[in-house]
Chain A
Amino acid sequence: MNTEITGIIVTFILTILLAYPLGKYIAKLYSGQKTWLDFMKPVERSIYKFTGINPGQAMNWKEFLKAMLTINMLWLVYAFFMFLYQAHLPLNPDGNPNMTADLSFNTAISFVVNCNLQDYSGESGVTYLTQLFVITFLQFVSAATGIACLIALFNGLKEKTTNNLGNFWQIFTVTITRLLIPLCIVVAILLAFNGSPASFDGKDTITNLQGDTIQVSRGPAAGMIAIKHIGTNGGGWFGANSTHPLENPNYFTNIVEIIAQTLIPIAMIFALGFYIKRKKFAYVIFGVMTLGVLLLLIPTVITEIHGNPLLTKMGITQLTGAMEGKELRFGPAASGYWSILTTVISTGSVNSMHDSSMPLSGLMQMLGMLVNGFYGGCGVGILNYFIYIIIAVFISGLMVGRTPEFMGHKVEAREVKIAALVTLLSAFIIKGGTALAAYYFVNHGDANWAVKPSAWLNNPNYHGFSEMLYQYTSSNANNGSGFEGLADNNPFWNITTGFAMILGRFIPIIGPIAIIGLMANKKYVPESAGTLKVDSITFGMMTFAVIIIVTALSYFPPLVLGPIAEYFSIH
């Protein structure tokens, strides 16, 4: 078999082999059992003491969300002002400027919501201080927020009837001290030893073989690159993200980084099984998600390996596949694999330019983000999937002639309403945003803005449409990757995607937590032979069908006008 293909298969199997024990560990960690990282307990105790947190205090779903939203709001304000005044603050050896208000608005939201859409370039747009104490800090806390919210869902599923979804502060703290930091230390060390910089010095100057002098940006990058993947954030230290030779030096680091970003999302699925003691349920979810990923992955890898049909028509053989926008050290298969995983999971880091992917790959990448629940981001992936489960439970419950139930709790009008709202919101943000952009591009192309709408798109036509669609899809999914080629650092894009990101983050978190809070409060209904088993393959396929149908029906027309039209135009 092709070495490139073997490479991605090995990577995938390795990820699962690591995720399984990690899932076991996560389940132990949150159910308060003994773990080998318990030596961090004194640190946690001093944090509780210092901040006045009572870690044993029970929280219902409203209290839980209140705590989560309050602290996130605080971080948002903090980040906004730090970016706005970063030039005047210390740790700025390259003398980078302040951000404009709209860019600061966009960037602050982007990192608070774990999206990491970057309308700036890391080398010139931020300082070491904001890189470390705003961006890296937010990469930790936003990942921990997502995980904490998922644990609240687990708690609601675990008990027959309960009001208590756990204490947000306590879950949040142990997530950082005993999950994220230890994993990041391992990854950061691996990266640093492979050449990622970990230095506070400013730009370095080298002379290349041709005798030209080149300024090379550096910085304490290894740690941030670790959390950007472990926390499924995706925001790179350098503008070129993980295509940059210092951010992702070789094939080994490429494997480390791709495993790092897939690790927690998959481990969380296994953790669900261990934690609520329904392993089969977790395996079915894992199976459905993996099926989804494979269906996106296989066509992508095949297309990329086969190269660009336009070049083939010109009689050019492409033995190495479609190489435009790809790094020679990774090749089309590993790049295709990364591009699908980074989009199904809400990381959004890139090791190739998605703008240059074949149209079919671009379609698959967008579908990954539109579904946003095949593995999905840290914690939020399963929360998104939960919404699909609720819709599937509702429809299939009716189909077997029984008021729909999920794990012993009736799914009624209120739960359906919330799930429907969450689904509706994505459709509204993505299509509404793209429609707005298309409207301005067509009708007000010459508007006297910072960047004229007519100058937004590097590649007008179908591909340009995909660029706009991708930008809103990525923002709503809190993915953060970009179909570059879009002039996005201007008020229109900064502000609209800012709102897309913040709504696309919090509504899909509030929704599932509210649903589980309401359901866990209801009387427990024991299972009978007439109850639909949610841990069956049949139900798994039902959920899969709901995901496919809902996504296809919601987004078919824009996808036809973007990547699908482009596909047919070159085939």
Chain B
Amino acid sequence: MAKDQSNKLFEPALVKEALKQSFVKLNPRIMLRNPVMFTVEIGTAIMLAVCIWIAGGEKSQGHLGYNVAIFLILLLTVLFANFAEAIAEARGKAQANSLRKTREETPAKWIQAVGDMYVNEMKIVPSSQLKKGDIFLCETGDMIPMDGEIIWGIATIDESAITGESAPVIRESGGDKSSVTGGTKVLSDKIKVRVTTEPGESFLDKMIALVEGASRQKTPNEIALTILLASFTLIFLIVCVTLKPFADYANTPLTVAALVSLYVCLIPTTIGGLLSAIGIAGMDRALRANVITKSGKAVETAGDLDVLLLDKTGTITIGNRKATNFYPANGIDEKLFIETSVLSSLADETPEGKSIVELGKLNPSYFDTNNSTFIKFTAETRSSGMDMADGTKVRKGAFDSIRNMVVKAGNPFPAETEERVRLIASNGGTPLVVSRNNQALGVIELQDIIKPGIQERFERLRKMGVKTVMVTGDNPLTAKFIAEKAGVDDYIAEAKPEDKMNYIKKEQQSGKLVAMMGDGTNDAPALAQADVGVAMNSGTAAAKEAGNMVDLDNDPTKLIEIVEIGKQLLMTRGTLTTFSIANDVAKYFAIVPALFIVSIPGLQSLNIMYLKSAESAILSAVIFNAIIIPILIPLALKGVAYKPIGASALLRRNLLIYGLGGLIAPFIGIKLIDMLLSLFM
């Protein structure tokens, strides 16, 4: 399993590309973006000069081979850091490209516009020639050439190229599911689509540009960390510069190689070399979760989220409510009641109706429905059913509408049914009362089915300190019940789009960061207001424009993953910083005694690793410093695992692993390298 993982991390093609880039990135102008590694490059240049100097006959700097070795190791250090960044870029690009590949150069049926009119003439053009605002036509079997919005028609579309989900989806004009993505395929029907993005400006294109570094902005935390690392670098620069007069005082000649090595070992090259790789890998991980982020900052913000707004349907509950129980009134035969219930739902195409038929477990052919009239559900009657050929009228519907009907006909409404209705409602269910010839027979219970495992996910979020809020159109009673059952912290019942907006604003005023997911145009303002707005790929263009992430899978539970990706990103930076700084202790113990052992023999007691000689000690330290970068690349790319065990416990855990580990690991590593070197020296 582990082997599989690493194979995936370092695909040969990507490694090759990354190796090439490692050298390209040696260009000082590119290196300048990373101050820590830039100074290592300067150190490398100095060592090159020293090597040439010695080759020219200088005697005070030690022998040539040793200096060349230092030079090569420093060069490797820079290359390793470049490689880390390059491999992260290559992986992100490869992932984005695989998405983009699907939409390359497909023929588009372009509908020409004459003024404001669209004539019915089509011209086949390559997709790359389509501009924003152009209209094209797609018919059964066509590949959709560009991202766009359906302006006319309805079609079933296979989006598996993007989401990996093989079930076709329905997209139609006008509603909240009007968006289509380039590279997906129309399976049936015909649609006209307006292009919504300029070529090269789709979300994927933006994402690729972000990964490539051209438009990659450092995120706020990255900037703050860079400042801290730069100041550590400066402190160590002071350490090394002042060491020269100190050594002169102690009558100890210091070689340039020793000073440069000490400097490079001390400055936080490990985190400095991996910093940008970590950031890219964060966006890449989001992309692997099929989420396109518009900026690195959005991923980082996701880690800080305090409140998640989740739609009930699809996120917390499975789709629609289902019939779960039949409750016949006293004295009513259960079989008759179930039969009547099923009969009333036979013509009902709604998922609720179907679930009643399912629950009744009766074969539809069991009923004779010839010459029967189906009565459709209307907002006025709030009931539906069937008038049978023999004159029997079966109805099912909302409690009060059926009761009115029953009472009007002069029949009593059974008290126990009324009681049952109340009980069902207070348990978060929906009661449907069934009548036969204006006589109430009983009540069917419909319940929301809460997704299995969702409680655990909310519990996990709670431990992370994230509050979950369920948004639903249900009445407060039902909403409260489901909220409690699913374990969300709060709910907005009978929610209108502006309620979401107000809730977000209220939470933000008290300083919290809020995320929401939405698809409709009327969600757009709230998506824009939220700190992290995730638009569904199936949603309208307005929604996608307003949010700062787009979820290709249209999966509402994705928010939970996004939070973890954000936290992982920050944690990876924090832990590697700690590791890098903690490493310095061992390096001091390797190098400082080595520098002064000749003039101050007493310092042999500080050589607690018993390194063989001064030169082997320095070499071991710089070698360890260099190879720790590639060793940690997999961790940087995969991210440090997040465990929702509370902040203090998490800090203890990470301090133990990366702080104490960072303290001890180099002692072992340097000693091993020294033993290895002593075989050759």
**A432 near B581: Cβ-Cβ < 8 Å:** no
A568 contacts B647, C-beta separation under 8 Å: no
Which A residues lie within 8 Å of B225 (CB)?
Answer: 394, 398, 416
Report the separation of the CA atoms of residues A420 and B223 in the bound assembly, to the nearest whole angstrom: 13
Chain A residues lying within 8 Å of B438, measured Cβ to Cβ, are none
Chain B residues in 8 Å Cβ range of A403? 220-221, 300, 303-304, 570
B619 at interface (Cβ–Cβ under 8 A)?
Answer: no
Q: Which residues of A contact B510 (CB under 8 A)?
A: 524, 526
Binds A, one of B129-137, B233-241, B493-501: B233-241
Interface string of A528-556 (1 = CB under 8 A from B): 11111100101101100100010011101
Residue from A536, A554, A558, A565 in contact with B600 in the complex, judged by beta carbons closer than 8 Å: A565
Known: A523-B511, A524-B511, A528-B465. A399 touches B650 (CB 8 A): yes
- Contact digits for B220-252, partner A, Cβ 8 Å, 1 yes 0 no: 110111011011101110110111111111100
Q: Are B231 and A424 in contact (CB under 8 A)?
A: yes
Inter-chain contacts of A552 with B (CB < 8 A): 585, 588
Beta-carbon contact of A553 and B584 below 8 Å: yes
Measured CA separation A427–B228 after assembly (Å): 15
Kindly identify which residue among B249, B300, B465, B655 contacts A529, using a CB–CB cutoff of 8 Å: B465
Stretch at the interface among A243-251, A437-445, A506-514: A437-445
Report how far A416 CA is from B222 CA in the complex, Å: 12
A561 within 8 A of partner (CB): yes
Q: Does B81 contact A (CB under 8 A)?
A: no
Inside 8 A of A394's CB, which chain B residues have their CB?
224-225, 228
From B1-9, B333-341, B602-610, give the one contacting chain A. Answer: B602-610
CA–CA, A571 and B603, complex, Å:
11
B647 and A532 contact, CB distance less than 8 A: yes
How far is the CB of A288 from the nearest CB of chain B, in Å?
A: 15
Closest to A414 in B: B224
Contact check, A420 vs B606: say whether CB atoms are below 8 A apart: no
Q: How far is the CA of A564 from the CA of B566 in the complex (A)?
A: 45
Closest chain-B Cβ to A461's Cβ sits at a distance in Å of 9
Which of B266, B578, B596 lies at the interface centre, i.e. has the most chain A CB atoms within 10 A of its CB?
B578
Chain A stretch 442-500: residues in CB contact (< 8 A) with chain B: 442-443, 462, 465
Task: Tell me which of A391, A396, A465, A560 contacts B651 (CB under 8 A).
Answer: A396
User: Closest CB of chain B to A510's CB: distance in Å?
Assistant: 17
Interface residues of A in 382-434 (CB under 8 A from B): 391, 394-404, 408, 411-413, 415-417, 420-421, 423-424, 427-428, 431-432, 434
Taking a contact as CB atoms under 8 Å apart, the answer to whether A438 and B246 are in contact is: yes
- Measured between beta carbons, the chain B residues less than 8 angstroms from A399 are 571, 574-575, 578, 650-651, 654-655, 658
Interface presence of A569 (CB below 8 A): yes
Considering residues A421, A565, A569, which has the most beta carbons from chain B within 10 angstroms of its beta carbon? A565
Whole-angstrom distance between the Cβ of B45 and the nearest chain A Cβ: 24
Report if B648 contacts A (CB, 8 A): yes
**Is B196 among interface residues, defined by CB-CB distance under 8 A?**
no
Contact of A423 among B224, B231, B248, B585 (CB under 8 A): B231
Q: Which residues of A contact B602 (CB under 8 A)?
A: 565, 568-569, 571
A533 touching B466 by the CB < 8 A rule? no
Contact for B606 among A438, A526, A560, CB less than 8 A: A560
With CB as the reference atom, state the residue of chain B lying closest to A570: B602
Residues on the A chain within 8 Å of B236, using CB:
553
Given contacts A401-B571, A423-B235, A561-B596, contact A442 B300 (CB under 8 A): no
B235 touches A465 (CB 8 A): no
Partner of A398, one of B244, B574, B646: B574
CA distance A442 to B467 in the complex (A): 65
- Residues of A close to B655: CB separation below 8 A: 396, 399, 538, 541-542, 545
Q: Is the CB of B231 within 8 A of A465?
A: no
Chain A residue at smallest Cβ distance from B574 = A398
For residue A542, give the distance in angstroms from its CB to the closest CB of chain B.
7
Nearest B residue to A525 via CB reads: B511
* B238, B566, B582: the one within 8 Å of A431 (CB): B238
Least Cβ distance of B569 to chain A in Å?
Answer: 8
Residue of B nearest to A537 (CB): B648
B571's contact among A400, A438, A565, by CB below 8 Å, is which?
A: A400
How far apart sit A556 and B245, CA to CA, in the bound complex (Å)? 15
Over the window 86-110 of chain A, the binary record of Cβ atoms lying under 8 Å from chain B Cβ atoms (1 yes, 0 no) is: 0000000000000000000000000
B652 close to A (CB within 8 Å): yes
Residues in chain A near residue B466, CB distance under 8 A = 528, 530
Q: Residue-by-residue, is B126-153 near A (CB-CB < 8 Å gives 1, otherwise 0)?
A: 0000000000000000000000000000
Count of B interface residues, CB-CB < 8 Å: 74
Is A240's CB within 8 Å of the partner chain B?
no
Within the complex, the shortest CB–CB distance from A471 to chain B, in Å, comes to 14
Count of inter-chain pairs, beta carbons less than 8 A = 215
Given contacts A403-B304, A525-B511, contact A396 B574 (CB under 8 A): yes
Q: How far is the CB of A428 from chain B (nearest CB, A)?
A: 6
- Interface residue? A16 (CB, 8 A): no
A400 and B304 contacting across the interface, CB-CB below 8 Å:
no
Q: In the complex, which residues 447-468 of chain B have their Cβ closer than 8 Å to any Cβ of chain A?
A: 462-467
CA distance A417 to B647 in the complex (A): 25
Asked whether A420 lies within 8 Å of B227 as measured between CB atoms, the reply is yes
In chain B, what residue has the closest Cβ to A409?
A: B511
From B507, which residue of chain A is reached at the shortest CB distance?
A526
Nearest-neighbor residue (CB-CB) of A429 within chain B: B238
Instruction: List the A side residues contacting B243 at CB < 8 Å.
Output: 557
Cross-chain contact A401 with B245 (CB below 8 angstroms):
no
Alpha-carbon gap, A532 to B241, bound state (A): 38
CB distance from A275 to the nearest CB of B (A): 23
A65 at the interface (CB under 8 A from B): no
- A401-B651 in contact (CB<8A): no
Q: How far is the CB of A165 from chain B (nearest CB, A)?
A: 21
Taking CB as reference atom, which chain A residue is nearest B649?
A538
Near A by CB (< 8 A), chain B positions 252-285 give: 266
What is the chain A residue whose CB lies nearest that of B251? A442
Determine the chain A residues whose CB is within 8 A of the CB of B582 once the complex forms: 549
Q: With the chains together, A436 CA to B249 CA distance in Å?
A: 11
Q: Do the beta carbons of A530 and B465 come within 8 Å of each other?
A: yes
A402/B223 in contact, CB under 8 A? no
Decide if B246 touches A416 in the complex (CB within 8 Å).
no
> Assuming A401-B650, A417-B227, A531-B465, is B238 touching A428 (CB within 8 A)?
yes
From B250, B300, B465, B581, contact of A553 by CB (8 A): B581
In the complex, are the beta carbons of A413 and B220 less than 8 A apart? yes
B235 touches A525 (CB 8 A): no
Interface membership of A198, Cβ < 8 A: no
Contacting pair B584 A558 (CB below 8 A): no
**Chain B CB within 8 A of A179 CB:** no
Question: Within the assembled complex, what's the spacing in Å between the Cα atoms of A161 and B376?
Answer: 59
Assess whether A529 is in contact with B464, with CB atoms less than 8 Å apart. yes
B642 on the A face (CB < 8 A): yes
Task: Say yes or no: A402 contacts B239, CB within 8 Å.
Answer: no
A528 touches B588 (CB 8 A): no
- Decide yes or no whether B103 CB sits under 8 A from chain A: no
In the complex, A413 Cα to B297 Cα: how many Å? 14
Query: Would you call B69 an interface residue if the criterion is a C-beta within 8 Å of the partner chain's C-beta atoms?
Result: no
Q: Jot down 7 A-B pairs with beta carbons below 8 A, ordered by A.
A: A401-B571, A435-B246, A526-B510, A526-B512, A542-B651, A553-B588, A565-B250
Which B positions have Cβ atoms within 8 angstroms of A? 220-221, 223-225, 227-228, 230-232, 234-236, 238-239, 241-250, 266, 300, 303-304, 306, 462-467, 510-512, 566-571, 573-575, 577-578, 581-582, 584-585, 588, 592-593, 596, 600, 602-603, 605-606, 642, 646-648, 650-652, 654-655, 658-659
A431-B242, A532-B647 are known contacts; what are 18 more A-B pairs with Cβ within 8 Å? A401-B574, A403-B220, A403-B300, A415-B224, A416-B227, A420-B228, A432-B238, A435-B241, A438-B246, A526-B510, A526-B512, A528-B465, A529-B464, A530-B464, A530-B466, A533-B647, A545-B659, A549-B585
Measuring CB to CB, which residues of chain A are less than 8 angstroms from any residue of chain B? 391, 394-404, 408, 411-413, 415-417, 420-421, 423-424, 427-428, 431-432, 434-436, 438-439, 441-443, 462, 465, 523-526, 528-533, 536, 538-539, 541-542, 545, 549, 552-554, 556-558, 560-561, 564-565, 568-569, 571
Sort A-B residue pairs by CB-CB distance and give the 5 closest, nearest first. A398-B574, A530-B465, A568-B602, A401-B567, A528-B465
